[in-house]
Structure 1
Amino acid sequence: MTGWMPRALSALLFSLCLACGSTSDDPPNPGGEACQQYSFPLSDISPANHVSSCGSTACGNGENPPNSGLHCPTWLSCRSYTTEQPRCSWIHNLEHGHAVFLYNCPEGCSDEVAKLEAAMAKAAVGSNGVRRALVAPDAQLPKRFAALLWRRTYLMDSVDPDALTCLLALQDVDANEPGLICPP
Structure 2
Amino acid sequence: MLRALPALLLALCLACDSTSDDPTPGGEACERFSFPLSAVTASNHVSSCGSTACGNAENPPNSGMHCPTWLPCQSYTTEQPRCSWLHNLEHGHAVFLYNCPEGCADEVAKLEAAQARAAQGSNGVRRALVAPDAQLPQRFAAMLWRRTYLMDSVDPDAIACLLALQDQDAPEPGLLCAP
Percentage of matched positions with identical amino acids? 78
TM-score by length of 2: 0.92
Letter in 2 for 1:73: P
Partner amino acid, structure 2, of 1:162: D
Alpha-carbon distance in structure 2 between the residues aligned to 1:122 and 1:17: 26
Cα deviation for residue 109 of structure 1 reads 0.4
TM-superposed CA distance for 1:102, in Å, is 0.1
- What is the total number of aligned residue pairs between the two structures? 178
Matches within 5 A, 1:1-184: 9-14=5-10, 16=11, 20=15, 25-27=20-22, 29-184=24-179
Following superposition, the deviation at residue 20 of structure 1 comes to 3.2
Q: Is the 8 A contact 2:24 2:33 kept in 1?
A: no
Task: Pick closer, same or farther for the CA change 1:18–1:157 going to 2, 3 Å.
Answer: same
Do the aligned partners of 2:114 and 2:159 also contact (CA within 8 Å) in 1? Answer: yes
Please give the alpha-carbon distance, in whole angstroms, between the structure 1 residues aligned to 2:106 and 2:87.
28
**Unaligned stretches of 5+ in structure 1?**
none
Query: How far 1:139 sits from its partner (Å)?
Result: 0.4
Shift of 1:74: 0.2
Taking structure 1 as reference, are residues 65 and 22 closer, same or farther at Cα in structure 2, changes over 3 Å only? same
Name the SS of the counterpart of 1:162 in structure 2.
helix
Q: Is the 8 A contact 2:66 2:86 kept in 1?
A: yes
d(CA) in 1 for partners of 2:42, 2:172: 14
Asked whether the equivalents of residues 125 and 177 of structure 2 are also in contact (C-alpha less than 8 Å), the reply is yes
Partner Cα separation in structure 1 for residue 19 and residue 45 of structure 2: 32
How far residue 27 of structure 1 moved from its aligned partner, in angstroms, is 1.7
Instruction: Return closer, same or farther for 1:120/1:21 CA change in 2, 3 Å cut-off.
Output: closer
Q: TM-score, normalised by structure 1?
A: 0.90
Provide, for residues 156-176 of structure 1, a one-character-per-residue CA deviation record: whole Å limited to 9, x for no partner. Answer: 000000111111111001100
What amino acid sits opposite 1:176 in the alignment?
A: P
User: 1:11 Cα shift?
Assistant: 4.4
Aligned equivalents of 1:91 and 1:158: distance in 2? 23
Which consecutive unaligned segments of at least 5 residues does structure 2 have? Answer: none
